[in-house]
Amino acid sequence: MANNSSIFYTSDTMEFVSSYLPENPLVNPFRDLWNIMLSRYTKFQVATFGSLLVHELVYFGACLPAFLFQFLPFMHRFKIQAEKPETFDKQWNCFVKLLFNHFIIQFPMICGTYYFTEYFGIPYSWESMPRWYVLLGQVVGCALIEDTWHYWLHRALHHRSIYKHIHKIHHYYQAPFGMTAEYAHPAETLILGMGFFIGIMTFCTHLILLWAWVLVRLLETIDVHSGYDIPWINPFHLIPGYAGSRYHDFHHQNFTGNYASTFTWWDRMFGTDQQYKEFKQLRKRLASDKIGHISSKKTE
């Protein structure tokens, strides 16, 4: 698997393209750190505990900004469900159950990383690391696969015969905040988590893809669960078809529709965003009526 894919990113075409791209000043420091890591730790330690560390640092680091927003009055205007502020009890409850989810459910899955890389011959070395644009393409491929898997399995988990047994736990928070992204029933963690690993099994040519995909996926899911919409400083909004926090926040309010994780395409294709469209139209109409009412008062 790794040998066939390596042809792709060491081809003459890739070399030609890379010769016209500016040199990344972060390459040398990253290379040195990567090589130090490989010299000090075994492949098992890197794949297992390194992956766990990446997951925890990225997850709680990405949750921190929205957590701090609740203490900053000028950020309250960006909260989507302003009438439902976060409480200490809800956040603590979420944090405690997240630790159980991360270390009892997810960590055993992470332990399989080493055996996966060994079985398929996935390299760790700096010399075999794919170029950044190849890595970017692989992450995009992972996102497309995960989004498709998530849409259909998430939609299935909303079926009346299944919902109350599994997915209802995730919907305990009708006004989500960052940490609720992975607040879920263990079965849901396994079911929807499979979409994450299908992309890895399809595209992985180096351990770095696993960590890059973890980084992007966690940043994305925490963004859509953040409860805040700050579009002009959010790079995810530059991605065509990106759903965003308002899109997924409506799913937590409404329980029906907007099933996709990252993009809006599947919902548009099958009409499962219809209620969201009607909701947006209603909000726009109410805002227009409010402005008209204020204007008419000023002219009296």
Residue 226, pLDDT > 90, answer yes
Nearest-CA neighbor of 60 among 26, 27, 89, 98?
98
pLDDT band at 4 (very low <50, low <70, confident <90, very high): very low
Mean pLDDT is lowest, of 20-34, 110-124, 211-225, 253-267, for 20-34
- Confidence (pLDDT) at 3: 46
What integer is the mean pLDDT of 36-48?
Answer: 97
- Confidence (pLDDT) at 7: 40
- Confidence (pLDDT) at 128: 95
Cα angle: 135, vertex 137, 139; to 5 degrees: 70
Residue 6, pLDDT > 60, answer no
Percent helix, strand, coil in the chain, to 5, is 75, 0, 25
Residue 8, pLDDT > 70, answer no
Model pLDDT for residues 73-90, shown as the tens digit of each residue: 999 999 999 999 889 999
Helices (H) and strands (E) in the chain, counts: 14, 0
Which domain does 46 fall in, by range? 2-299
Exposure class string for 258-297: b at 16+ Cβ within 10 A, else e = bbbbbbbbbbeeeebbebbeebeeeeeeeeeeeeeeeeee
Percent of the chain with pLDDT strictly greater than 90: 80
What integer is the mean pLDDT of 18-38?
Answer: 78
- Confidence (pLDDT) at 283: 84
The neighbouring-strand residues paired with 263 are 242
User: Which position has the higher pLDDT, 299 or 168?
Assistant: 168
| CB neighbour list of residue 52: distance below 8 Å, 6 or more residues apart | 107, 110
Model pLDDT for residues 135-166, shown as the tens digit of each residue: 999 999 999 999 999 999 999 999 999 999 99
Task: Decide: residue 165, CB within 10 A, 0-12 exposed, 13-18 middle, 19+ buried.
Answer: exposed
- Confidence (pLDDT) at 18: 56
What integer is the mean pLDDT of 171-176?
Answer: 94
Residue 5, pLDDT > 60, answer no
Which letter does DSSP use for residue 263 in this model? Answer: B
Helical residues (DSSP H) of 20-166, grouped into ranges: 27-40, 43-45, 51-69, 88-100, 107-110, 112-120, 132-157
The two three-digit tokens of residue 283, written as one number? 């909000």
Using CA atoms, how far apart are residues 220 and 23, in angstroms rounded to an integer? 27
- Confidence (pLDDT) at 22: 57
In degrees rounded to 5, what are phi and psi of residue 11? Answer: -70, 165
Nearest-CA neighbor of 226 among 70, 24, 42?
70
Residue 300, pLDDT > 90, answer no
Residue 295, pLDDT > 70, answer no
Hunting for tokens 């000028």 — which residue is that? 74
Q: How many domains does the chain have?
A: 1
What integer is the mean pLDDT of 245-253?
Answer: 95
Using CA atoms, how far apart are residues 251 and 176, in angstroms rounded to an integer? 10
pLDDT band at 285 (very low <50, low <70, confident <90, very high): confident
The two three-digit tokens of residue 142, written as one number? 């992972």
The two three-digit tokens of residue 57, written as one number? 């640092």
